[in-house]
């Protein structure tokens, strides 16, 4: 049986003692942190990024780290027991391969559209079944009238802490587990307000400026769509919401009966990744391709569209970090399930990023 390095490993290079490294691994939805002795183990994990036999790894450890056979066996068994190494057919890798292999067809379709080519929407084998969750319950897109439900006016945001960008950026980490703690509504308001303030300014610029004099960045920002899935937030029922950036309000798209149902919906849309299952809010970012083509009709339009969305996703990450919140970011989304969850068509508008935040 071949084994390979767990693709859900996170290192903290500032261990509790000099030369030590912390490593957090996620196996079957559970995150566990271990303290490693040094960088030698990292060399072994780098070697095993490609699936290897156990004998190959023993030989590598013996030759590279100059270990005797017993020490090599002990290290191999420890890495397997702790989950740093996994069987090459483990579910962690299956979901990753599925995303990589099937996601390209849709990505190439979008790329052709930016070149104004006449192409049919791709339909992958078995796609008609992809809107069925593991519980075999079909997830129907929200109706248009769902978007007409009452809005939640967000409270005035707080100011961000007085810290330099360098300080916040160096503190930023990706976290694959959350504490399941409720977020208060003012904190959510603060995160959304400061994360998308450039977009709000773009709307104002477009309204006040003749089209011939508009700043290109304002046009680019105006096509951004933001969908917070509220899992744990005081005074906000669990559900899928749209964020009206200009009005600083939330409008309900889909309700959930329980927090657990919200967790499961996000997990199902994110290829069964459970890193955000205990998050407070999972924020999805949408790209409206027709809008993006208007401000950048050339072939590079698709690339610019993705860069534009990632700009705002990472601004949200920095705002959350400044507020001492954890974050997890991924583009690994199951297209048809996220389309149905949020009520987008996946062609005219597609969801490209997920950022989960919480304590």
Where are the chain's structural domains? 2-87, 106-358
Q: What pLDDT, on the 0 to 100 scale, is given for residue 93?
A: 78
Class of domain 106-358: alpha beta
Question: At 65, is the pLDDT very low, low, confident or very high (cuts 50, 70, 90)?
Answer: confident
Q: What pLDDT, on the 0 to 100 scale, is given for residue 144?
A: 47
Q: What pLDDT, on the 0 to 100 scale, is given for residue 268?
A: 85
Q: What pLDDT, on the 0 to 100 scale, is given for residue 155?
A: 94
- In whole angstroms, give the CA distance from residue 233 to residue 285: 19
- In whole angstroms, give the CA distance from residue 5 to residue 82: 11
- In whole angstroms, give the CA distance from residue 301 to residue 296: 5
173: phi then psi, degrees, rounded to nearest 5: -135, 155
For 10-41, the pLDDT digits (tens) are: 777 555 556 567 788 878 778 888 877 766 78
Distances (CA, A) of 340 to 74, 224, 243, 280, 352: 48, 19, 18, 21, 14
Buried b (16+ CB within 10 A) or exposed e, 181-199: ebbebebbbbbbbbbbebb
- In whole angstroms, give the CA distance from residue 83 to residue 154: 43
For 250-259, the pLDDT digits (tens) are: 999 989 999 9
Mean pLDDT, the chain, whole residue set: 79
In terms of Cβ atoms closer than 10 Å to its own Cβ (0-12, 13-18, 19+), residue 249 is: middle
For 183-216, the pLDDT digits (tens) are: 999 999 999 999 988 877 766 665 666 555 555 5
User: Which has more pLDDT, 254 or 297?
Assistant: 254
CATH of domain 2-87: 3.90.930
Q: What is the pTM of this model?
A: 0.65
Question: At 136, is the pLDDT very low, low, confident or very high (cuts 50, 70, 90)?
Answer: very low
**Domains 2-87 and 106-358 alike in fold:** no
Q: What is the dihedral of CA 248, 202, 266, 252, to 10 degrees?
A: 30
Contact 222, 286 (CB under 8 A): no
């Amino acid at each position: 049986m071949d084994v390979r390095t767990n693709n859900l490993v996170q290192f903290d290079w500032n261990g509790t003692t000099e030369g030590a490294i912390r490593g957090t691994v996620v196996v079957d939805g559970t995150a566990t942190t271990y303290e490693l002795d040094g960088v030698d183990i990292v060399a072994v994990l780098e070697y095993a990024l490609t699936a290897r036999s156990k004998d190959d790894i023993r030989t590598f450890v013996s030759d590279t780290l100059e270990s005797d056979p017993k020490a090599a066996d002990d290290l191999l068994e420890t890495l397997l027991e702790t989950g740093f190494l996994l069987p090459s057919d483990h579910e962690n890798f299956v979901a990753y391969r599925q995303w990589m292999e099937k996601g390209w067809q849709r990505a190439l379709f979008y790329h052709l559209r930016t070149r104004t080519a006449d192409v049919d929407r791709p339909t992958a084998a078995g796609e008609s079944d992809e809107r069925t969750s593991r519980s075999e319950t079909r997830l129907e897109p929200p109706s248009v009238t769902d978007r007409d439900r009452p809005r939640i006016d967000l409270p005035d945001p707080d100011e961000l802490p007085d810290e330099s960008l360098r300080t916040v950026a160096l503190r930023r980490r990706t976290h694959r587990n959350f504490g399941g703690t409720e977020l208060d509504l003012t904190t959510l308001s603060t995160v959304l307000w400061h994360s998308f303030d450039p977009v709000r300014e773009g709307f104002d610029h477009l309204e006040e400026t003749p089209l011939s004099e508009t700043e290109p960045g304002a046009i680019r920002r105006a096509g951004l769509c933001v969908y917070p899935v509220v899992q744990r937030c005081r005074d906000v029922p669990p559900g899928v919401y749209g964020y009206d950036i200009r009005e600083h309000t939330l409008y309900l798209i889909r309700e959930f009966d329980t927090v657990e149902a919200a967790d499961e919906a996000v997990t199902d849309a994110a290829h069964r990744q459970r890193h955000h299952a205990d998050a407070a809010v999972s924020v999805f970012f949408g790209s409206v391709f027709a809008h993006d083509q208007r401000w950048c009709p050339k072939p590079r339009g698709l690339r610019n569209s993705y860069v534009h969305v990632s700009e705002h996703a990472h601004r949200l990450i920095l705002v959350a970090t400044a507020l001492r919140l954890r974050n997890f970011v991924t583009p690994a989304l199951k297209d048809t399930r996220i389309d149905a969850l949020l009520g987008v068509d996946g062609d005219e508008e597609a969801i490209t990023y997920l950022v989960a935040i919480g304590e």
